[in-house]
Structure 1
């Protein structure tokens, strides 16, 4: 839907593209992010006018739920989102409609966007135990603690620790991994999963289905 709709939207002047992620559903984060990024990239390639005036913001919603997750899972997800933001020169911010300081912060962001002032630049928050706030240009691969990476490398690293729903279904249920069995399309990812198989099995219980309508959270 995004691929078909975005190129047809008439754009004038500056253009801001927001990717909204549900942080409470950890096994769906990468798929949503990857799909949205691809649509964004296709759009700016098709429309050269907005290529020079595009702004990317990645928003992680339902932080009130995400903050209670396992520390290592939060670290992996935050590092993945920071990596994508650095790679694409985007802004990154976490949000919850249940926490007023975060509501005010997001309102400031959209106020700045709406009135042409851009993403408000203030002190960044990169600690994965706190709600992330990183304007573009204030983060780096060195700060994240990893080498410069492509989207595919970020994906492989992320899915080796936090598999998506579809990837979990591909993992054999016998408790062992045969050396000749290829679980994933990417060889590098397949090797990573073999090394961390027990961790992946434990992760399958993390993503509890949430019967919460994002637009009716408040």
Structure 2
């Protein structure tokens, strides 16, 4: 009996799954994501414009809604006529630093093979900038290291008895001609730092702008990351930001534009800066030797926080109840929830009366 079209598709699907599980396919990670599939994890300042920037990079004309916790979407790009489209899996973390534990969801042993991270920092809120950056980068790097370790264990078990180890997970290695290569602490996966709300950033004094620019240049170069200032109100900056995004999501050439002038938006691809160009921390009334820094990054942190004392954002207390958010409304479910809440209140009142009665009887 001849096979039907459905049978053939079923066989192809089964063969594809078997190929991925055995690690024999042409996938980019030996059992991880297929060729043409990448993962981009976006995190950053609360209300820093992450969703707006993402929508503009995807050419989606829709209003940005607040990201409640962790949201997933995807982007596709055609590579040629009658060829499969590249796919970018896009995860966005909401809540600023309050939900940093959720980074473990998009950062896995499978996604780590083709993972990039975008950190969006609100330039108009400099007092919260360093704490947000430090907290999120530490959380992301911890889970990247864990996922990388698991990926290596999987690769090791699959490599047993095989002639080739191609396609296995490999840690990020900088080119030999990367500036200050021996002095850096590269982020384990490609990292892009986006300074958002550049239009409002321009309202700060020139001295403060200079401190922020030099500090972010240092942090970006120290982690071998790219850095760009952006604003959804300035089309030219969104266009440049989209170029960096497309490079991470679809491996598109990022271009050769470089701008290190603090009086203009910073546009610095990874490897286009150096410590000699950045210079020393911008101190005017502070003796650097009195700061007792443990390492260069700690020194920049202390200088930055002298200019912009950290503030308690209270983000942990501001996380909203998703059941009360109108953008997730479900009339039937909400009506049932209201009924159950009312029944619970009645039960609590009756239980309290019963308890008081027991106390009187005793």
Partner of 1:134: 268
CA displacement 1:129-171 (0-9 Å, x = unmatched)? 1110001111111101128x5332221111111212249xxxx
| CA pair 7-155 structure 1, distance change in 2 beyond 3 A | same
- Answer with 1 or 2: which has the greater Rg: 2
Aligned: 1:88 with 2:249: no
SS state at 2:119 partner? strand
Aligned with 1:76 (options 187, 211, 236): 211
In the alignment, the residues of structure 2 paired with residue 99 and residue 155 of structure 1 have an alpha-carbon distance, to the nearest angstrom, of 30
Partner of 2:120: 20
Moved more, 5-14 or 134-143: 5-14
Q: Is the 8 A contact 1:2 1:36 kept in 2?
A: no
Q: Is the 8 A contact 2:218 2:275 kept in 1?
A: yes
Partner of 1:4: 101
| CA pair 12-89 structure 1, distance change in 2 beyond 3 A | closer
TM value normalised by structure 1: 0.69
TM value normalised by structure 2: 0.43
In the alignment, the residues of structure 1 paired with residue 103 and residue 312 of structure 2 have an alpha-carbon distance, to the nearest angstrom, of 26
Map 1:1-218 to 2 at 5 A: 3-9=100-106, 10=108, 11-48=111-148, 49=151, 51-52=171-172, 54-117=189-252, 120-146=254-280, 150-166=296-312
Q: Is the 8 A contact 1:95 1:106 kept in 2?
A: yes
Q: Which runs of 5+ in 1 are unaligned?
A: 168-218
In the alignment, the residues of structure 2 paired with residue 157 and residue 105 of structure 1 have an alpha-carbon distance, to the nearest angstrom, of 30
In the alignment, the residues of structure 1 paired with residue 267 and residue 232 of structure 2 have an alpha-carbon distance, to the nearest angstrom, of 16
Q: Is the 8 A contact 1:3 1:43 kept in 2?
A: no
Q: Which runs of 5+ in 2 are unaligned?
A: 1-97, 152-168, 173-187, 282-294, 314-362
